[in-house]
Copies of this chain bind each other. A is one copy, B any other.
Amino acid sequence: MAATIKDIARVAGVSTATVSRVINNLGGYNEETEKKVMAVSKELGYRKNENARSLVQKSTNTIGVIMPDVTTAFYGDIIKGIEDTSYEYGYSVILTHAGSHGSRIHESMNLMGERRVDGLIIVSVELHESAIQSLTSLGIPYILISTKTDREDTPYMKVDDYSAAYTAVKYLIEHNHRTIGMAGANPHDPIAGEPRMNGYKQALQDYGIKVDLNLIKSGGFNFESGKSAMQAFIEDEAAVTAVFCASDEVALGIISTCYENEIHVPNDISVVGYDNSKVSHMSVPPLTTVAQPLYDMGREGCFEVIAAIQNKSKIESKVIPHELVVRKSVKTVV
């Protein structure tokens, strides 16, 4: 059985209050007492019980993180940012998946509530009205990273997908592409799908290019979706000279199918990805892509939550600037 402060108190011949003071460095005891307590504490192999502390202080020093069911390097970076920051400020991270398509979201939030996390970070999960209510009912600071809701009062941190997509497509147009396809966005996804698609369309329109719906191959944000999109372009005999992809994985799918069909990237077709995930510089050719500062978003989002916990301040939503990382998957049309 692990030693408690009572044990220390008994052995050291002091009260539990004094032990507590010494252990928490609160001062107000003489050196001798301190030494004795520390010695006994070490001797008994004492280890503080955070849960007991949490109970009386009504704060657990934990941050809950809820994320989707899927594993991509994408989440890894965000989580690392979160964990680094929590660690810095003395918080622990409790992690849970929200299930595919957020099926477990209510259970997840309930769990976080029962664990009495001091703050909550929700990554990339689409929240509906009832989920938002569970969320606010927890009565703790929270932030959404890389997702948002319709409601003004739900703080989030994400890049503006519409304008990021616009930037990417504009870049292709400026490199003289006129027949530009789009792959891998789900138009029914109001967070990451629809806005990217709209940015794509608007860029074309602003440059006087007609939007051809046949050039839009919607789907998931994954590799397979990219493969089948490219397959479709080939079968359609669509004369696309470039494809804007809703994620890097989709872009790799495009490139993979091109390779199988002896279509060369970027000589025969240019490709732009989205995320600047780790794979983007590992691809052949290295991928030009839209960068979201994932690690920093994790760090900053977590920081905001901790600040809100400690100062009881309100968290403001924040749009993170995006950036186009130019590598080698786009060629100028001559």
Interface residues of A (CB under 8 A from B): 2, 45, 47-52, 54-55, 60, 62, 69, 71-73, 75-77, 79-80, 83-84, 87, 92-97, 104, 110-111, 113-116, 137, 139, 223, 249, 252-253, 255-256, 259, 278-279, 281-286
Contacts and interface: CB of A to CB of B under 8 A. Distances in A.
Contact of A114 (B50, B111, B114): B50
Given A80-B71, A83-B97, A223 B50 contact: no
B80 A249 contact: no
Contacts of A285: 259
A3 to B, nearest CB: 12
Contact of A278 (B60, B72, B110, B281): B72
Contacts of A75: 76
Contacts of A104: 87
B96 A92 contact: yes
Nearest to A54: B51
A285 B252 CA distance: 11
A287 to B, nearest CB: 11
A96 B93 contact: yes
Given A73-B73, A116-B51, A87 B92 contact: no
A5 B71 CA distance: 39
Residue with the highest number of chain B CB atoms closer than 10 Å, among A51, A62, A93, A110: A51
A49 B256 contact: no
A206 B95 CA distance: 47
Contacts of A49: 55, 114, 116
Contacts of A284: 255-256, 259, 283-284
Nearest to A60: B51
B110 A83 contact: no
Contacts of A249: 282
Contact of A281 (B60, B96, B223, B286): B223
6 contacts: A45-B137, A71-B80, A73-B73, A92-B94, A223-B282, A256-B284
